[in-house]
Copies of this chain bind each other. A is one copy, B any other.
Amino acid sequence: MESNQYQVGCELNYTVSGESAFIFNVSVADNEFQQIVAEQFTTEPPLEVVSSRSPIEDKRHHRFVMNAGPLKVMYSATVQLSHHIRTADEVPETGPGALPADVVPYLYPSRYCESDKLVRLAQHEFGKLEQGFSRVTAICNWIRDNVEYLRGSTDPQTSAFDTATERAGVCRDFAHLAIAFCRALAIPARFTSGYAFALEPPDFHAYFEAWLDGRWYIFDPTRLAPQTGLIRIGTGRDAADTSFATIFGPVAFTAMKVTMISTSGETPVYTTDAISTSGCLK
């Protein structure tokens, strides 16, 4: 199990026009593969921030309420990142009859991943392929070949059903479509938000994880960042579950900065191996 150290962070700026409640999910997930060496979540002005942890996942939230005024939210963390690595052809699918109870919900359709409407398309394109890690890779390849990565082509309401036909989108749409295809084939899949190494332009990233042979494995159909250069923030059914910021009140978003740099001198590379950062229940 190799291990590398990274410095990640973000700065988010808002203009708040009246009392508003904020829930942020920008801090790094804390688990055996992502050890947080140091971490800081601060606000300008200083506010009373409540931090909590999702009862079922390693997602972490920071919440606060504030009145009118400018708001700056800053997060930074030093993270020791490691991976569970296997040779891709050793990773079979798990039949739906053998899935753990807490994985089963990731077979169901969700807001942005209407797998129930994509069963025929998924069966037609991937139904006869050999089962296992390589089939999920084939889904990613299909998306790369058939969907154009195009900033501004989609909006927050765009779903996998739209992207399957409209054939353009950004990282979030790529992940949604891949997840929908997986679920349509009875492969559990979930959405992951994270920090990504060398992403251009720098931004939060979205990718996905598929449940294969007892673990959640990382896939990124955009191929915009190496798999071992992804640091997880949150997982969920789809983007609805992993908003960086959920805001209740009259608030305008004004500017954002996201960073991720390697501090241990090593540089993550693209790989054909199967990369995982979570076992069961996380």
Contact = CB atoms under 8 A, between A and B. Distances in A.
Interface of A: 21, 23, 52-56, 61, 63-65, 95-97, 101-102, 104-105, 107-111, 113-114, 116-118, 120-121, 124, 146, 148, 156-157, 161, 164-168, 186, 236-237, 240-241, 243, 246, 248, 281
Contacts of A117: 157, 165-166
A64 B110 CA distance: 25
Nearest to A52: B101
State the 7 A-B residue pairs at the shortest beta-carbon distance, nearest first: A21-B97, A120-B167, A108-B240, A52-B101, A96-B248, A109-B111, A65-B97
B165 A101 contact: no
Contacts of A21: 95-97
Contact of A55 (B23, B102, B166, B246): B102
Contacts of A168: 120
Given A96-B21, A116-B156, A110 B167 contact: no
B165 A118 contact: yes
B167 A164 contact: no
The copy count of this chain in the complex is 4
B110 A110 contact: yes
B95 A240 contact: no
Q: Which applies to chain A's interface (DSSP): helix, strand, loop or mixed? A: mixed
Contact of A121 (B65, B167, B281): B167
24 contacts: A53-B101, A55-B56, A56-B56, A61-B104, A64-B97, A97-B248, A105-B236, A105-B241, A107-B246, A108-B240, A108-B243, A109-B111, A110-B237, A111-B111, A114-B157, A116-B156, A116-B240, A117-B157, A118-B165, A118-B166, A120-B167, A121-B166, A121-B167, A124-B146
Given A21-B97, A97-B65, A97-B248, A240 B167 contact: no
Nearest to A164: B165
A18 to B, nearest CB: 13
B97 A63 contact: yes
A146 B281 CA distance: 38
A59 to B, nearest CB: 9
Contacts of A167: 120-121, 124
A101 to B, nearest CB: 4
Given A110-B110, A111-B113, 19 more contacts: A23-B104, A54-B102, A56-B56, A63-B97, A64-B97, A105-B241, A108-B111, A108-B241, A109-B240, A116-B156, A116-B240, A117-B157, A118-B166, A120-B168, A121-B167, A124-B146, A161-B165, A164-B164, A165-B165
A94 B39 CA distance: 31
A109 to B, nearest CB: 5
